Amino acid sequence: MNNSHLEKLADTILSRIRRRPGRPVSIKSLSRSLKIEAGEIRAALTVLKTLGYKIRHRKETITFVAAPDSLIDTEIAYQLATKVIGRRIRAYRSVKSTNDIAAQMAQGGEPEGTIVTAEAQTAGRGRLGRVWHSPAGSGVYVSIILKPSFKPDLAPGLAIMTALALAEAMTVFTKGEVKIKWPNDILIGGRKAAGILTELSAEKNKVEHVIVGVGINVNHRSEDFPAELQKIATSLRIANRRKASRINLLKQFLRNFEKEYRRYQKGQLATSRKRVLRFSSLLGENVELRFGNKTVSGRVVDIDATGALIIEKDGIRRPVTSGEVSVVKA
C-alpha cells in the first residue's frame, strides 16, 4: 500500500499510531507534526479501515486497536527484520499462481529474496500437475525468488530445507504433531497441512533462478476442502480448533527460511540434518517410491546432506532424489 500520496500518508499515520496501541493520539498533533490538514488524516484513516485496520476514531483523537490478518505488504513488512527474504514484497489479492508471477519477475530481473503472496489463487499448482486448492483468506500462498550460485544438482535439498523452516514455523502455532513427509509435504496428525513446490530454471548447468512456492492450510474448515481431500487434508484451525494468525505464521516462516537458506548455501543440509530427521515421518518406515514408471521399495534409513532419501533393501543403500512415496504397511 504505498503507491499514491494518500497511501503513503496512511502508512505514515499507521506507523505513528501503532507505536502506542490502545493509547489515543490527537489528530491536531499528528496534523502539526506531519504538516497536513486534518481532512487528509481522515481520508488516510478511511484507507486504513478499508484495508481492515481497527482504529478507534473519536472527534479529536485516533487509537490503534488491531491490524488485520491479511497478507498485505505493510503487515508482512512490519517487524519482519529479515535481511534478504521478503525485503521486497509483491502482495496480490488474487492471482492464477504466485509461482508463475514470481518466475516472470525473476526473469525480468527481480532480485533474490523477493516474495509474491496472494490472498487467493485461481490456478494454484501442486506437484505432479496437481491443483493446489487456494480459497481466499484462509491459507498462505507465497513464492520466494532465489538466485543461488550453486549447480542445479544441489537444488533438490532446497525442498527439504524449506520443509524444515516451514515445519518449525508451524510448530510454533500448534500443539499437534508436525511432521515432514519427504520431500515436500508438511503433515499435522498424519494429514497434509502444507506443501512445497520448488521450480528451477537453469541454463548450461547454471541455475538462473529457483522459485520456492509454499501453500499452507491455516484457517480452512473441513468443508472448505473439496470432498476428495477432506479425509487426507487438514489445517491449523482444524488441528487447534481455533483460528491461527496467517500473517504471523508467514513471517515466522520467512525468518526461519532466511536462516536455513544461509546455512544451506554454506553446507547444504549438514548443520540442519538432525532436525530434519527429527521431523521426518518416513524414517524407519517401509516405503514404495514411484518416479516415472519405476518403483523402488525398501526401508527409509536416512536423509543425507543433499536432501536425498536413503532407502535400504537387502543390505544395499540407495539415495533417491525425487518421487512419490507411500508407506507400505506390514
Q: Is 253 in the site for ligand BTN (CB under 6 A)?
A: no
Tell me the number of residues near ligand BTN by CB under 6 A: 21
Q: Is 196 in the site for ligand BTN (CB under 6 A)?
A: yes
Report the residue closest to ligand BTN, judged by CB. Answer: 195
For 103, the 3-state DSSP assignment is: helix
Of 41-49, 91-99, 217-225, 318-326, the segment contacting ligand BTN by CB under 6 A is 91-99
Q: Is 114 in the site for ligand BTN (CB under 6 A)?
A: no
Q: Is 323 in the site for ligand BTN (CB under 6 A)?
A: no
For residue 222, the minimal CB distance to ligand BTN (Å) is: 19
For residue 186, the minimal CB distance to ligand BTN (Å) is: 9
Which of 98, 85, 242 minimizes the C-alpha distance to 148?
85
295 torsion bin: left (phi>0), alpha (psi -120 to 50), beta (else) = beta
For residue 114, the minimal CB distance to ligand BTN (Å) is: 14
Q: Is 106 in the site for ligand BTN (CB under 6 A)?
A: no
Q: Is 124 in the site for ligand BTN (CB under 6 A)?
A: yes
Tell me the H-state helices in the chain.
Answer: 5-18, 27-34, 38-50, 73-77, 98-107, 156-172, 236-240, 246-267, 273-279
Of 50-58, 152-160, 195-203, 257-265, the segment contacting ligand BTN by CB under 6 A is 195-203
Which of 156, 172, 140 minimizes the C-alpha distance to 246?
140
Q: 32, 56, 130, 313: which one contacts ligand BTN (CB under 6 A)?
A: 130
Task: Quote the DSSP letter at residue 314.
Answer: T
Helix (H) / strand (E) element for 145: namely: strand 139-146
What size, in residues, is the chain? 330
Q: Is 141 in the site for ligand BTN (CB under 6 A)?
A: yes
Task: Quote the DSSP letter at residue 71.
Answer: -
